[in-house]
Structure 1
Amino acid sequence: MWLLEVLVPFVRLYLCGFKVLLYQMFHRSFTLPVLPTQNGRVGIVTGGTRGMGFETAKHLASLGMHVIIAGNEREEGSAAVRRINEECSQGKVEFVFMDLTSLTSVRQFVQTFRGRRLPLHVLINNAGTMLVSEKRTEDDFELHFCLNYLGHFLLTNLLLDVLKTSGRQGNCSRIINMSSATHYAGVIDMEDLNRRTYYSSHAAYAQSKLALVLFTYYLQEQLTAGGFPVIVNAVDPGMVDTALYDNLWSLAKMLKKPIAKILFRTPAEGASISTYAGAAAEMEGVGGFYLYNGEKTQSSDLSYDSELQAKLWKKSCELVGLQEA
């Protein structure tokens, strides 16, 4: 039983990766259209100190947006701000500390942000980790589940009223959740979200990315029902050559290096889809979708399960101490 619980997610995840590589072999990366200026708009990018998060923050700042990079590495954050300021004469960028593996840290970040009385027009939930060995957060959550999903769930909900008041009909606020093709291999075990019975880093990662898609669809349904000027989409950057792959097992890491040079997207290419979702004029008012390579794409069948969406939402509220809305 233990072997199956570990082996099946492993195989499913690598099959997903193989399919993505085949696609990327025959399709060019999405090319960003000309984007409108973002002067006067404020955005938050989690995990924006490097990789795709950095490229997203840099591009939004170059359009004139005031970008707040939220991350847990202060020195890396300061360096990212310097680099963006050197390359961009437009916009404003700053770093504010937040550790998504700590619910206390997420609440402190939100309290600080709200104290500044700034609007919020774009929230890009980009930060993540992949295939790490079994670890628990200070709140006793499994690391993938907390960092990739639950921390962002809490952050989004605590900022939701600011997003609602900042948006306008015809100029909506936007939430972008960074998912992955691995969500197709994901399952949600409502009785063991923290993977305590059998731990598989592959299953934990895929589950966290599926959770983000379920969260996206359920939240958009609530926003639409309430008539709020906020849209939320899940985006899939494809396979991108970033530090996420540092945790691959030895043989996979060795094989990845030559393949990555040929078939993987660059961080800037991977960031194009989140930048597009956050700033493109044609995405105005368009929410509740899964975007891959610039197109609305069918996500996994399981992600459209409305009952599962509601169950996960309710359970997530309980886990982070929010009253279910």
Structure 2
Amino acid sequence: MVSVLSCVLPVIKLYLLGLRVLLVQLFSKAFRLPVMPRQDGKVAIVTGGVRGIGYEVVRHMASLGAHVIIAGRDEQEGLAAIKRISEEHSEAKVEFEELDLASLQSVRQFVQTFKARDLQLNILVNNAGVMLVPEGRTKDGFEQHLGVNYLGHFLLTWLLLDALKDSGKHGPLSRVVSVSSSAHAAGEIRLDDLNSCRHYSAHAAYCHSKLALLLFSTHLHRELQHRGFPVTSCAVDPGMVDTALYCHLWSPLRPIQGAIARLLFRTPAQGAATVLYAALSPDLEGDCGGGYWANGRREMTTPPTFDPHLQLSLWDASRRLLGLH
């Protein structure tokens, strides 16, 4: 009975939460990104920038003059994305570098290659993710949602912090923007079972990973501000967006998924608007940075997000899993 409930309850919670989000989106106006300042001379890394929200973030940053590095797994998709952006903006400076967030070795290799180029780094957008994928493990043995959505981005950010700090000393502060989800509200952090070994549910694992990413973002911002480093960290909920992320939805919904998405979901460009605002807006400079943003506004989150003990406990547990000292 307990096993059945542990599988069914996360599904019910996530779909009820999704229904609420859809209703809110139906009766509210999508945030429109104001005109952002030019980003000439700035360097940005965007994970998962070959399609969906990530692609729209890369496309817009490149149109403003930023040098954008798409970090992703599929080189062919990356080159195709670069081609489309270059055809639209002939002066765009966009490139692709291989990064598999399901492999710690790949993350380390990506950072090593980036640092060897001696580039500055002004913006890091932790956007890539998986949702409701079948039970499985990353190359390092982590549950897939935890490994890709959270731990891979934790390690990437940790290894790039020095570059972000150095770049933030000269002009506007550097920024880390992590794409979370309203699904974090249905998540919980089980420090004794982060890999969901006891009772696996893809729905629960996804929610847990998005809550973990939000806790990471909040704790990182507090630490950076406390130590006086010129970097801010915030999390963004892009809303429910019509992207490939939803390809593993509950099977009875799949025949009508396209119709639902067209009617109720936001477009990738609309989903990217708040991500871009968090990454580029002068309004979020300095003490105004940090927080959790949705539809262009700073939002409150669930009580666990504000628990400094939970934040620190997860931070320390994550460092141990990643072998960071």
Indicate whether the TM-score tops 0.5.
yes
For residue 236 of structure 2, give the secondary structure of its aligned residue in structure 1: strand
Q: Is structure 2 residue 69 aligned with structure 1 residue 57?
A: no
Structure 2 match to 1:101 = 102
d(CA) in 1 for partners of 2:233, 2:240: 22
- Name the amino acid aligned to 2:207: A
Q: Match of 1:38?
A: 39
Post-superposition offset of 1:249 = 2.2
> Separation in 2 of the partners of 1:90 and 1:174?
24
Post-superposition shift, 1:188?
Answer: 0.7
Deviation at 1:254, TM superposition (A): 2.4
Contact 2:85 / 2:92 at 8 angstroms: preserved in 1?
A: no
The answer for the alignment partner of 1:232 in structure 2 is: 233
- Alignment check: 8 A CA contact 1:171 1:284 kept: yes
Runs of 4+ in 1 over 3 A off after TM superposition: none
Q: Is the 8 A contact 1:245 1:253 kept in 2?
A: no
Task: For residue 170 of structure 1, report the CA deviation from its aligned partner.
Answer: 5.8
Deviation at 1:299, TM superposition (A): 1.1
Q: How many residues align structurally?
A: 323
- Give unmatched runs, 5+ long, in structure 2: none
* In structure 2, C-alpha distance between the alignment counterparts of 1:151 and 1:106, rounded to whole Å: 7
| Deviation by residue 1:291-317 (Cα, 9 ceiling, x = unmatched) | 000000001111111111000000110
- 1:293 aligned partner: 295
Provide the C-alpha distance between the structure 1 equivalents of 2:160 and 2:106, rounded to a whole number of angstroms.
14
Q: Equivalent residue for 1:216? A: 217
Deviates more, 1:200-209 or 1:86-95: 86-95
Deviations 1:109-146 (A, max 9, x none): 00000000000000000000100110101100000001
Supply the distance in 2 between the matched residues of 1:201 and 1:270 (Cα, whole angstroms). Answer: 23
**Corresponding residue number in structure 1 for 2:260:** 259
C-alpha contact 1:43 1:123 (8 A) present in aligned 2 = yes
What is the rounded CA distance, in whole Å, between the counterparts of 1:89 and 1:277 in structure 2? 26
* Deviations 1:135-181, CA, capped at 9 Å, x for gaps: 10110000000100000000000000110010037610000000000
Does structure 1 conserve the Cα–Cα contact (< 8 Å) formed by 2:10 and 2:186? yes
Residues 81-100 of structure 1: pairs in structure 2 closer than 5 A? 81-100=82-101
Question: Aligned with 2:159: secondary structure?
Answer: helix
Cα distance in 2 for residues equivalent to 1:287 and 1:255: 39
What letter is aligned with 1:301? P
* 2:71 pairs with 1:74: no
Task: Give the TM-score taking structure 2 as reference length.
Answer: 0.98
How far did 1:91 drift?
A: 3.6
Amino acid at match of 1:290: Y
1:305 aligns with 307
